Structure 1
Amino acid sequence: MSDLKLTYFDFHGGRGEPARLALAMGGVPFDDDRVPMADWPERKASTPFGALPVLVAEGKTLTQSNAINRYVGKLTGLYPSDFWQAALCDETMDAVEDLMNEIVPTMFMPDDEKKARREELVEGMFPLYLKRLNQNLADHGGRYFADDRLTIADLKVAMLTRQFTSGILDHVPTDLVEKVAPGLIEHFQRVMKDPSIKAYYAKKGVEV
């Protein structure tokens, strides 16, 4: 049995996916504990903050997606050792988390309220953050967000881009990213072409 257990929902994406990808890319064995949504109400109380992802490493529990990402990134060589590049990596992940903190609550809203809130976000926060991420990417060389190489931050942004472009978010235009932050589309394609990521999803039977 692996010394690592990552618990997250049973779908390909979201806050737990960057850590899954990083571990797979680093060749680090882990127990991929996938929670079906139907089982979540029963399992929620067993998590420290009533939320996922949760990482257990050698019997010790870690929560909060970006803390998990940093730990896993260091474990797999996907987190910068240079202090400034590490800060850029953190900045990127925290910006994505700001967006996730607005997106996730809308998933549990009544339809009318969800529509109104998401349309408000499309007119305000979403393009603001997407443009800023796009500019940061350009400022850091145009290929990756930190360290001039693929890091855990790139995995987190790629999962965000996939969420925005997939059509899973009702009332959010699937071409929003392309219109306001085209560099993020190119970045997503670049990340998803990584041989380790392609192999991971091929094994899962998922097209990328």
Structure 2
Amino acid sequence: MPVYVLRHFRAEIIRLLFVLKGQEFEDKLYTFDTWPAEKPNTPFGQLPVLTVDGKDYTEYMAINRFLAREFGLMGSNSQEEYEIDRVISLSNDVSAERIKVFNEKDSNKKTQLEKSLKEKVIPTFMGKLQQLAGSKGTGFTAGSKLSLGDLIIFDTIDGKTDDATMDKYPNVKAIIHNVRSNERMKAYLAARVPTPFD
């Protein structure tokens, strides 16, 4: 059985993959205070880093896709893998905006960016998902079981929009529900440790 060690500031999708699979891993969460001492010990001097039996893996989304394949959560055929990859591409715009919000130092500009993220960027993402990834109304991005695509949607949306907005996108809401109602996820979410980015 492989030994997994995850070093990160916030790598929630990787955590969710481990939880969904039921795979134990060592979760090393760094803060901006503890990071400088660890930085020289990482490839490229950045996080996250996933170490599997002593071998380091880098680049967040590449790690997500690697683990999803290892755990059977990347679809059962090329069509389903495409549907998951499509969600990854759609989520990139939201991720870029979230980084802008986090990095903005001016409080007024930060407030404006947060408002745009909540009122424009995330609803646009959800609208696309309603038409594409969630259009089947099954509550799954691909096939008939939870996958990496569903975890990305959950991490991108959950807790970042209101109920009224969620109700406009029932197929997306069904995906969020399926993630939250998974027994392993329930236990994890109830005890989840926040990160510096939450």
Counterpart in 2 of 1:183?
171
Q: Is the 8 A contact 1:7 1:54 kept in 2?
A: yes
* Structure 1 residues 95-139: Cα deviation after superposition (integer angstroms, max 9, x where no partner): 223311211221121211112233344554332222101222332
Counterpart in 2 of 1:133?
129
* Structure 1 residues 46-101: Cα deviation after superposition (integer angstroms, max 9, x where no partner): 44355432211222222222211111112222121301111111111232233112
Correspondence 1:88 to 2:76:
no
TM-score by length of 1: 0.78
In structure 1, stretches of 5+ residues that fail to align are: 166-173
Counterpart in 2 of 1:155?
151
Describe the shift of the 1:122–1:36 C-alpha distance in structure 2 as closer, same or farther (beyond 3 A).
closer
Counterpart in 2 of 1:144?
140
CA–CA distance in structure 2, aligned partners of residues 202 and 20 of structure 1: 14
Counterpart in 1 of 2:189?
201
Question: What are the residue-to-residue correspondences of 1:1-208 with 2, within 5 Å?
Answer: 3-9=3-9, 16-44=11-39, 46-109=41-104, 110-122=106-118, 124-165=120-161, 174-175=162-163, 177-178=165-166, 180-202=168-190, 204=192
Q: Is the 8 A contact 1:177 1:185 kept in 2?
A: no
Describe the shift of the 1:123–1:56 C-alpha distance in structure 2 as closer, same or farther (beyond 3 A).
same
Equivalenced residue count is 193
Describe the shift of the 1:205–1:37 C-alpha distance in structure 2 as closer, same or farther (beyond 3 A).
closer
CA–CA distance in structure 2, aligned partners of residues 112 and 205 of structure 1: 29
CA–CA distance in structure 2, aligned partners of residues 51 and 102 of structure 1: 20
* Larger relative contact order (Cα-Cα within 8 Å, sequence gap ≥ 6): 2
Describe the shift of the 1:93–1:198 C-alpha distance in structure 2 as closer, same or farther (beyond 3 A).
same
Letter of the structure 2 residue corresponding to residue 129 of structure 1: F
* Structure 1 residues 10-48: Cα deviation after superposition (integer angstroms, max 9, x where no partner): xxxx5x122212222323222111113432344345443
Letter of the structure 1 residue corresponding to residue 83 of structure 2: L
In structure 2, stretches of 5+ residues that fail to align are: none
CA–CA distance in structure 1, aligned partners of residues 172 and 137 of structure 2: 13
- Computed over aligned residues only, the root mean square deviation of the Cα atoms, in angstroms, reads 2.7
The share of aligned pairs that are identical, in percent, is 27
The alignment partner of 1:139 has SS state of coil
